Structures are given as C-alpha cells and as structure tokens.
C-alpha cells in the first residue's frame, strides 16, 4: 500500500513523501478499505507546515476525512461487507490508498456521489452543527454569517436554503457576490462599518436570530450589532487574528448569547446518536447531489507535490481531492 508521510514540519510540497508499505490483513474487529477520495484542506497544510494549534507526532500521515470501499473484514465484523462504501471521519491519516483499522472507525455510507461524500465530515458537518446545535431554526428565520465564501460558509448557505432559512452573507469583496447568490444566498453584503444599517435595509428589519463568525475582530462586533433580542452568535474561527471587543450592551440589555464551536471537540464528545443524527441528515443530501462542494481538481498520490501546490493557490475554484485508486 501507499501512504503520504511527512517526517518533519515544513513546506508541504517539499516534506511530503510517498512511501510503499506492505498491506496489513484485518485482525479481529478490523476492516481493510481502499480509499476512493480524500480532500486536501487548508488545516492539513497548516499542520504540515507546523502552523496549526496541535502539532502531530512525526512521522505522520495527513488527512482527516475521505470515502473508501471495504475490501475485507476481520472476525466479528458483521455490519460491514466487502464492497460497502464507508466514510472516514474524525480520525487522522487518510492520505493513503488503503487502510486497515477498527470497524468503529468507519461509518457506512450510501452509494451515490463518492467524491461529494468524501468531503462531508469537516466543512458540511461544521455547517450542519452550526445550524442545529445552538438555536431551533424554523423556515423563514433569518441568520447572518461572515466569511460566507469559505467552504463552511458556502455549506451554511446551501444547508440553510434546503430548510427555507434565510441567510445574510457577509464577504470582503464584491466579486464574490454573484457566486453566493447562485448557490442560494438570500442577501450578500460586503463588510463595513455601516453593516448593521445595510442589513436592516435588506431584511426589512426582520429579526436575525443566529450569527456565525470565523473572522473575529471588528467583523464579529458588527455581526453582533445586527442581532435580535435573545439571539446567539457562534464564533468558530479567528481568521483576522484580531480579538473583538465584547459589546456588553448587546449581552446585558439585548440578551445576546455568545458561544463557540470547535469540530475537533465535537468529535471527542459526540455520542453515537449525535453522530448518526448528523451523518444521517447529511449523507443523502450529498450522495444525491442536492448540496455540493465545488471540486477544483483531482490528483493521484504520486502527484502529491502538485496536489498540495494547487491546493494552496488562491486561483483555484473549489477543493483539491486525492483519488488514490482512480484508474
């Protein structure tokens, strides 16, 4: 089998190496799978470069999610059979062409668009949890988000649109507006000091009950100022590197709740039921094509250097996938 490995931190195109190892037969309770597709995320590249919160033990295999097909199962594995599609989610080391691991590492997946399913367990899952964990949203409710053109932001737009939830989407550049309109964004505005007034004008003053922010700094402050009494703002990133000032008038007099979300912690603490509920909702949407992540390009493991180079280019249009077993 082939794996992608890095033995030291550094520029991904330099430090990542393809390595061949013998296959490992599944032991009791284990499953051997061949990997169909696994995405390259910015967080993977940051981790390889040593710029991520958690530094891995080296050598390490990157990759946090993907889709695979069961090749063979060990003793005692009843619910998975050869040929079954499975998700790899919440575990590391997916940039490889096959993997032998405990059956509990794999989530049975439907047939359908395998590439879409391979990118479900990070960004779409984050968007889904943002939309479900904090506030009971009903059809017609308004929410607002920053960094609306991020992978999570685009998923929020699509998943909200599926449920009839209306989105105000804040971006930094006007050029991004038509793309977000086309995937179902209701209102798309560029960030700026008068954001709250422009939001009110566009929504007709409808109450905004939930905000998602991954920019922090003044953008967080401005999103907060658009919110209705009793609304919640969820922070899930600090892209600007700036901490916001906390508007205590919003918190005290307007009863705005401030919360945070971190997917790694969700994977640590989610119950089996939580996982089934989340994946059970998302998989049919992505398998059937109602919701889509844009794909820029596909690379075999042998072209890992080209793949990570492409993944870090600003001109790309969507995700870069590794497809280790493509013809």
**Residues assigned a catalytic role:** 52
**Pick 100 or 250: Cβ nearer its own copies:** 250
Contacting residues toward its own copies, per CB under 8 A: 53, 216, 220, 235-238, 243-248, 250-262, 265
What DSSP string runs through 145-207?
ESSTTSHHHHHHHHHHHHTT-EEEEEES-GGGHHHHHHTT-SEEEE--TTHHHHHHHHHTTPP
Query: Minimum distance between the CB of residue 192 and its own copies, rounded to whole angstroms?
Result: 21
The alpha carbon of residue 102 and the mean position of all alpha carbons in its chain are separated, in whole angstroms, by 24
**Pick 6 or 220: Cβ nearer its own copies:** 220
**Pick 99 or 147: Cβ nearer its own copies:** 147
319 contacts 42 by C-beta, under 8 angstroms: no
Number of residues written out for the chain? 327
Query: Minimum distance between the CB of residue 316 and its own copies, rounded to whole angstroms?
Result: 27
- The residue behind tokens 């042998």 is 302
Q: CA-CA distance, 249 to 172, in Å (whole number)?
A: 27
For the record, the structure tokens of 287 come out as 């398998």
Nearest to 109 by CA among 65, 75, 69, 77: 69
Q: CA-CA distance, 127 to 263, in Å (whole number)?
A: 10
Query: Minimum distance between the CB of residue 214 and its own copies, rounded to whole angstroms?
Result: 10
Query: Minimum distance between the CB of residue 47 and its own copies, rounded to whole angstroms?
Result: 16
**Pick 106 or 212: Cβ nearer its own copies:** 212
Torsion (CA) 42, 48, 51, 53 in degrees, nearest 10: 90
**Pick 26 or 244: Cβ nearer its own copies:** 244
191 contacts 240 by C-beta, under 8 angstroms: no
Query: Minimum distance between the CB of residue 195 and its own copies, rounded to whole angstroms?
Result: 18
């Amino acid at each position: 089998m082939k794996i992608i490995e890095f033995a030291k931190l550094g520029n991904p195109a330099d430090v990542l190496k393809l390595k061949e190892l013998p296959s490992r037969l599944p032991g009791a309770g284990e499953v051997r799978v061949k990997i169909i597709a696994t995405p390259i995320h910015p967080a993977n590249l940051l981790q390889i470069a040593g710029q991520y919160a958690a530094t891995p033990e080296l050598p390490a295999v990157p990759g946090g999610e993907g889709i695979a097909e069961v090749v063979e199962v060990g003793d005692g594995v009843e619910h998975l059979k050869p040929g079954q599609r499975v998700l790899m989610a919440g575990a590391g080391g997916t940039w490889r062409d096959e993997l032998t691991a405990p059956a509990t590492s794999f989530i049975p997946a439907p047939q359908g668009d395998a590439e879409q399913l391979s990118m479900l367990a990070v960004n779409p899952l984050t968007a889904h949890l943002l939309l479900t964990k904090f506030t009971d949203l009903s059809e017609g409710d308004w929410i607002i988000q920053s960094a609306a053109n991020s992978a999570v932001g685009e998923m929020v737009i699509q998943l909200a649109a599926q449920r009839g939830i209306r989105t105000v989407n804040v971006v930094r550049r006007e050029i991004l507006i038509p793309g977000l309109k086309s995937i179902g964004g209701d209102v798309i505005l560029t960030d700026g000091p008068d954001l709250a007034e422009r939001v009110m004008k566009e929504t007709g003053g409808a109450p905004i009950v939930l905000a998602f922010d991954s920019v922090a700094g003044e953008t967080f402050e401005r999103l907060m100022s658009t919110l209705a009494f009793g609304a919640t703002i969820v922070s899930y990133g600090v892209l600007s590197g700036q901490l916001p000032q906390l508007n205590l008038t919003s918190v005290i007099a307007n009863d705005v709740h401030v919360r945070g979300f971190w997917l790694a912690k969700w994977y640590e603490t989610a119950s089996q039921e939580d996982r089934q509920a989340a994946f059970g909702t998302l998989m049919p949407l992505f398998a059937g094509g109602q919701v889509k992540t844009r794909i820029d390009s596909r690379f075999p493991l042998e072209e890992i250097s080209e793949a990570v180079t492409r993944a870090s280019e600003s001109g790309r249009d969507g995700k870069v996938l590794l497809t280790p077993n493509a013809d």
